[in-house]
Amino acid sequence: MANRFEDLHNHYRAVFNTPDGEEVLKHLCKTAFVFDTSYAAGDAYETVHREGMRRVVLSILRFVERDPAEIYKLINQENTNE
C-alpha cells in the first residue's frame, strides 16, 4: 500500500511540477476560491460547492508540497508585469 501511495505522489508531482502544471495550478487556485472567500451570501448550496472546489485544490497543493502563498506570489507577479 505504501508503494502505491508513493507512486501516486510521484505522479502528482510529475504533472504539477512542470511549467504546464504550474499554469494549471495557478488557474485552479484562481477559480476554486483558494485566495478568495468561498462564502456566497444567501446561498448555502453555492457556498458548500465553492468550499468543495477549494478543498480539492488545497489537497492537490498539499500533495505536491506547494504552499498556496507561493502560488499567490506568482499570480501577483504576473499581474504586475502585464
Q: What is the pLDDT of residue 42?
A: 97
Domain carrying residue 64 = 2-81
Q: What is the pLDDT of residue 82?
A: 65
Overall domain count for the chain: 1
In the predicted model, what is the mean pLDDT of the chain?
Answer: 91
Distance between CA atoms of 22 and 12, rounded to whole angstroms?
Answer: 12
Q: What is the pLDDT of residue 77?
A: 85
pTM score, two decimals? 0.82
Q: What is the pLDDT of residue 35?
A: 93
What are the backbone angles phi and psi of residue 14, rounded to the nearest 5°?
A: -60, -35
List the chain residues with pLDDT less than 70: 1, 82
